[in-house]
Structure 1
């Protein structure tokens, strides 16, 4: 599977599982063919009831701060720097003609993956590389939660450049200290996922 198709499928599978997505089960199976992690995830997605899958999605991504899909949070927390990072990401999209739906933030991982798929390996994949640490933290949190969504992050991480020693050091710091703090409400700072089992997979 080429990188563009890989990122496009990962983007689709990380969206909220509605009736339209499930109705495309045959197409999803065909698209996932040959990539074991995608194949296993699609079978899980199509096996349970729609209500069960939707509840799992909400519990995984909307109710757990440590496994949120908004990448700038991992690097910047709820600080003014995050606002600037969101603005720069929006401007990058605009240059390439990608429009983000009203009310949606541009750092949502499915949107970042869609941009990588459409804009190509250079500028298109730059946001993925820039937020690699956040993606790894999300991946580790999903493994901790034992959710099938971790399979998708495994594929995405394997497609990205290997982690450097500097990356690993920064990841350890983020996992222990949490994102930067400028406002209140970060009750889970310092409760990051255990990264020990995961970095070797993508190195």
Structure 2
């Protein structure tokens, strides 16, 4: 969205920007398709264990049955690649992209707050949001893990459910760029998700470019639980430290060491 003229009162400019970012009203059929796309993104971004690998024909058929849309095209591009891969190759690629690359971590609050108390508070806020909506996660993943956030978005709807996705729009953009730079087919899953969100603003794109160029500051502060240590700048970019690959199914994921898979 291009900047609004300075002659427009600040209150009006704020309301216009809010209206642009607010999800538009959809028909029941569009809402159902949107929910399905979110759930598919959640599934496809989970660790490709044997169960998920065996479900590839069903997932592919489900994607093919989606109404035509940019999101459906991106998901079809991913499933076409996925169905041709050996299970072991899928596992290795997933670990390389999401466990070993800091700029494509799936833990969203890192992109805003780093591994700090500010991030801990963000995790607590997410967990409280889930509980307030009546959704009880199994606790096997941190609440900012993207597949978890996507499942909540599918359950909660475009306004309240998708609010965490809109809040972390810049982090999602950075993940998609990192996957594109790595030529990973997972870039299509992120691209499908981004088609559902409000377009990135010039400020968003500039912030993402700066994060991609500067990289994370060296900060080593633990979470206890979900928070201890010093505050980081609001836009600090500190993805998790590189971790050893942990090949564990998404449906029964392991206890998460503090801030890393």
Which residue of 1 is the match for residue 230 of structure 2?
none
**Deviation at 1:177?**
3.0
**Is 2:80 aligned against 1:53?**
no
Which one is further off, 37-46 or 69-78?
Answer: 37-46
CA distance in 2, matches of 1:167, 1:96: 29
Q: Partners in 2 of 1:122 and 1:180 — Cα distance?
A: 33
Aligned to 2:47: 16
> Is 1:159 the equivalent of 2:196?
yes
**Secondary structure at the counterpart of residue 83 of structure 2:** helix
Larger Cα-atom Rg: 2
Deviations 1:149-202 (A, max 9, x none): 0000111111100111221222223223335664379xx97xxxxxxxxxxxxx
Superposed displacement of residue 80, structure 1 = 1.2
Consecutive unaligned residues of structure 1, counting only runs of 5 or more, are 190-203
Q: Do the aligned residues in 1 keep the contact of 2:116 with 2:221 (CA within 8 Å)?
A: no
In the TM superposition, 1:72-111 aligns within 5 A as 72-111=109-148
CA RMSD of aligned residues (A): 2.0
2:58 corresponds to: 27
Equivalenced residue count is 187
Tell me the CA shift for residue 113 of structure 1: 0.7
What CA deviation, in whole Å up to 9, does each residue of 1:74-100 have, x standing for no partner? 111112110000000000011112222
State which drifts further: 48-57 or 31-40: 31-40
Structure number with higher helix proportion: 1
- Using the TM superposition, give the Cα deviation of residue 17 of structure 1 relative to its aligned residue in structure 2, in angstroms: 0.6
The partner residue of 2:155 within 107, 111, 118 is 118
Q: 1:146 aligns with which of 183, 198, 206?
A: 183
- Unmatched runs of 5 consecutive residues or more in structure 2: 1-29, 223-236, 239-261
Aligned residues of 1:93 and 1:99 also touching (Cα < 8 A): yes
Q: What stretches of structure 1 move > 6 A for 4+ residues in a row? A: none
